[in-house]
Structure 1
Amino acid sequence: MENDMHGAALIERVIAKVREDGWEAADMPDLDEEPVPLAPEAIDALRLPGGRPLPPSLRRWLAFDSRLPVDLGWYEEPSAPVLAGRSLSETTEEMYGFGPGEEGWAAMFGEFEALLPGRGFPLVGGSDSRRLLYVGEPDSAGEYPVLVTDTDDLPYVAVMYPGLDVYLADEAGLLDLDFDTYTGLMDHPVYGGRMREHAELTRLGTEGLEIQDLYFPDAGADTD
């Protein structure tokens, strides 16, 4: 692995970029306030749902600023984070803000929870689509995948980024990534290996799944 393209080393580059230029993505919370670093002992004590360790990217980011996760809705107080997360249906309901007549969407995303029983943390990006950090199994870099959900036609879920490290780098405009499709990084020369790890670990496959693929897998996307 190129050491400065993954994990904490990539986040170091993200921090330098946003300190200098702010976020390139317009929907990221601004940096008008001073960052709120989390003490090393507090970071060491933190655990993700299920007692899982923090990914290197999140450890490094929290050492720089614990306020961004508050802005993203992960917890309420920068100095006292609790990383509980929510189920996939609860996370999508929070992200989309389903209104009257849309209650069925959360239930349909709930159908994916047999496949994805882990907890989610909302991120920004998209309109019909939304992104979330999914705490299931980590990849070989110790990172958890960023999933994309879509409501344009039928509920759809896929691996979009191999981790918070790459997601934040993209939001900062640090990387030149090509997304012809949501899963466009599967063949990326640097991130493709990690993407395919998550495609297998989540059982979402390299193209993601629509809801009907849960019941008729041979008729849907690639699940190998």
Structure 2
Amino acid sequence: MNKLAVTAYLGLIVLSSGVYVAEARPAYAQKEGKQCVYCHTSSRGGVRGFRGQFYGANNLTFRYFEEQREASIAGVTPDSTGSSSAPTVAYAGNTSGPATSQIQLAALRTPVLVFFVDQASADAKEAMKGIHELQKAYGTKVSVLAVTKADEENAVKMTSDLGSFVRVLPDEKGTAIKKFSVANGFDFVVVGKRGDYVKSFEGLSKANLDGAVKAIAADLEVEAPTFDESKLPAKTLRGKAF
């Protein structure tokens, strides 16, 4: 595996999400027909809630934004405002990969679990619930993302089809699949906060996810959390070959 290539690609992924701190921009609020607090946790500006992070990460547009889906991914209650709209997990707001024209972007600097998904089967949907439980347990300490071989529109659809638990990013040309040497759906990798490859797993299972959690604890010094594993498959879930 080309470590530099992996680092570069993951850098593009993590730079697509982040924590935004800025003064409220009334011009943007007027453009969208919203109050400043719709995007910020305060009417005076400051930290952005999940809507503001989505807006900034997608070239100052709400294209593809859907309240229920984005609130679920961010770990907050739909229609929440103020401090309640701040993501409780490492929220990835971007839907297409690296954004241009982002304002005051600070990249997520956390270890990352990257799952490669190929379909929204019943088993896959159930497994995503288990992954979401781990994401909630980690909070903002570890980012959890999924990747699918599709364009942006279909990646957004896949996000919804899988329950809106984890952001699914598009990998239409299979760039990430090649960089991480992934073979099948639900193979996944652990990557360090600087983009360094740590470990890969063939398929999702309780045992494999436990191995990933241990790798994050041992190599990246993030304490292993306790979470509900009941939704995770006992036998390895593995999709079709890419």
So what's the TM-score if we normalise by structure 2? 0.31
Q: Higher relative contact order by CA 8 Å / sep ≥ 6: 1 or 2?
A: 2
So what's the TM-score if we normalise by structure 1? 0.33
